[in-house]
Amino acid sequence: MMTITRGLIFIGFVAMVSGQCPGTADIVLAVPASEIVPGQEFFPFERFLINLVSYFNLDKDQVNIGLILYGKEPVPISWPLPYRSPKQINTRITLMSQRHVYTDFLNGGNNVAAALVLMSNMFRNPTGSPTSMPRPGVKQIGIVFTYDSVPEYERQLVIDSAERLKSIGAILYAVGKGKAGPEFSSIGSDYCKSFSMGRFIDGLPSVLAFLGSSICSELDPNVNVTNINCFPQLYQRKEPEPVLCSNTAVLFPDPENCAYFYHCLFKRPVQEICPVGMLFDPIAQSCNYKEFVSCYSDIKCPKSDGLFPHPADCSKYINCFDFRPYIQSCPGGLWFDEASGGCQSAGSVACRSL
């Protein structure tokens, strides 16, 4: 028999399942981050989200993750496509936790309806481009975290936005803190997909195993979830590998998250975090701006030095120095020409990026 004391109560017989859950899905998580959410209620999200995504098999043919930070406006931190590795998603979650970078977009209230609209766009156009299409036959699962109730004049907008998402086949979860308004019950797709708690700081750790297992049950075609047995199986998330000190490296990257690195003290690894907006660059052996770190940009230098085409944008190119990629742009209207090693008129360039 299972009971969640910090939210709705679910009862059922539970079987424990080892290993990451099977199934394919695009999963989008939306987190409130305006000034209304105090620091002690916001900071648990970094560790919670990293732990939550570790339940799923992140793979280009399995589970892809999208991330939304929302306040007055929603901010797309990461679109579901192109595929991001677990390390890259963990890195983006850490960058998302640096919410003061996005203050101009966030402060002024938590617009849940706008977050749901952006979530819908991520499902329809998973790369952020209007020409992209959803992966066929893949489930679309949204997890919306809310902080208290929304103003009364916004409630119907939230209800309508959630209903539109569910009408296109999306499965929605609602995870709320504090006093919930009538809009909260309209977000979750059914009784088993609504979780409420008094505070995020202690409620999120308590709900982790149940939320992760509930999503896994949705992905697993062999599991039957009912309103009287919301958790027929509990899944175990993937635990990170232990970090060991090397005899040679002074500083070395965190294997799970590019925003962190380690140094050794008395042969014991000590974790450090890079400054805001920066990631650890193993080539430079120091923190670097995220755009220049291949873990974030997915861009690597094919040779130590030289100019090379950008893999996704014909108007840009990669300037490599000592295997460090620097992204640069051609003047307006010009594309990079690999043959000449310079920028030329778009009509005369055979661009492989498009």
CATH code assigned at 191: 3.40.50.410
The pLDDT of residue 229 is: 82
Rounded CA-CA distance 148/99 in Å is: 19
In a domain, 19, yes or no: yes
Q: Are residues 55 and 126 in the same domain?
A: yes
**If we measure between CA atoms, which residue out of 287, 302, 299 comes closest to residue 338?**
302
Q: Are residues 228 and 274 in the same domain?
A: no
Q: Are residues 266 and 329 in the same domain?
A: yes
First-to-last alpha carbon distance for the chain, in angstroms, is 55
> What does pTM read for this prediction?
0.86
Domain ranges, residue 122: 15-235
Q: Are residues 59 and 157 in the same domain?
A: yes
In a domain, 220, yes or no: yes
Q: Does residue 324 have a pLDDT over 60? A: yes
Rounded CA-CA distance 318/67 in Å is: 27
Q: Are residues 197 and 278 in the same domain?
A: no
Q: Are residues 168 and 216 in the same domain?
A: yes
Q: Are residues 302 and 336 in the same domain?
A: yes
Q: Of 201, 235, 269, which one is at a domain's C-terminal end?
A: 235
In a domain, 173, yes or no: yes
Mean pLDDT of the chain: 89
Q: Which residues pair with 74 in a beta bridge?
A: 70
Q: Are residues 157 and 293 in the same domain?
A: no
Q: Are residues 23 and 113 in the same domain?
A: yes
In a domain, 2, yes or no: no
Report which residue type is found at 270: V
pLDDT, tens digit (0-9, with 9 covering 90-100), for 113-164: 999 999 999 999 998 887 788 999 999 999 999 999 999 999 999 999 999 9
For residue 104, what are the contacts with CB-CB under 8 A and spacing of at least 6?
none
- Tally the domains of the chain: 2
Q: Are residues 213 and 314 in the same domain?
A: no
pLDDT, tens digit (0-9, with 9 covering 90-100), for 269-311: 999 999 999 999 988 889 999 988 888 877 888 888 999 998 8
In a domain, 4, yes or no: no
Q: Are residues 263 and 229 in the same domain?
A: no
pLDDT, tens digit (0-9, with 9 covering 90-100), for 157-174: 999 999 999 999 999 999
Least confident of 34-48, 105-119, 193-207, 298-312: 298-312
